[in-house]
Structure 1
């Protein structure tokens, strides 16, 4: 009998922003700001908090797994049979901050979810720019 190794894939996007990590952190953790660039939500920046992202197509159930202010935010992402994890990592840079987003946990048979996440996260992160530009 031959065992087939399952490959777990991740969507990773890294961006440099001309803003300090604290400003980007606000856009990642304040519900009214998250709603402007990502989705409607009931997020709270508290370890263990269960929340939802809501769109016209449905909802994503999430739970805060790790939180280190201005540095790291990790939450589970569960929707339509996909059980995965999203991790945001911020680091100061010479011109502002680098932001890394990793959405991990896509199984071999979840190519539709994987392709959707690649397209979706690129769109969402492009929508983050104008939100950050107008924040004080």
Structure 2
């Protein structure tokens, strides 16, 4: 958010050889954004692709795991490495069960005024893995996804998101 309280545009930055950094602000406090980003009942409402999410499991604790499925099209799963609710989570993302490689995803939510600044670092194992992710469109559609998250936060009552 900027000083006027409006949402800043999504930023996607390629840093070094292996990282993709995603930044986005939301007009809601970190606790509400966290809940929408980690509640398996809410995640399918905003994390969409061309296919509908058909499974969403999350055991939100260090040594827990998650699994997001889009029918037979594809899925992401992996271990949760760190959780500091409502500001920090780190997990490893395996695409379609390929545990031979994985992307470490670090999500940080920082209070900014009455809103939240989200920073996600997606760290690939090497430059080739990052280039392949970019080539297949891994970051395409992030604008729409995070716009849906903002809309969900705006339409959902405080009691539903906050707890």
Classify the TM-score, shorter chain.
0.7 to 0.9
Match of 1:104 in 2: 123
Q: TM-score, normalised by structure 2?
A: 0.71
Matched, 1:88 2:107: yes
Tell me which of the two structures has the higher relative contact order, counting C-alpha pairs closer than 8 angstroms and 6 or more residues apart: 1
Would you tell me which structure has more helix in proportion to its own residues? 1
Q: TM-score, normalised by structure 1?
A: 0.83
Match of 2:93 in 1: 77
Q: The residue matched to 1:131 in structure 2 has which SS?
A: helix
Would you tell me which structure has more strand in proportion to its own residues? 1
Q: Where does structure 1 lack aligned partners over 5 or more consecutive residues?
A: 1-6
- Structure 1 stretches of 4+ with a deviation exceeding 6 A read none
Q: Where does structure 2 lack aligned partners over 5 or more consecutive residues?
A: 1-15, 48-52, 159-163
User: What RMSD in Å do the two structures reach over aligned CA positions?
Assistant: 2.0
Distance 1:122 1:105 in 2: 21
Map 1:1-136; keep pairs closer than 5 Å: 8-38=17-47, 39=53, 40-56=55-71, 57-80=73-96, 81=98, 82-105=101-124, 107-110=126-129, 111-115=131-135, 116-135=137-156, 136=158
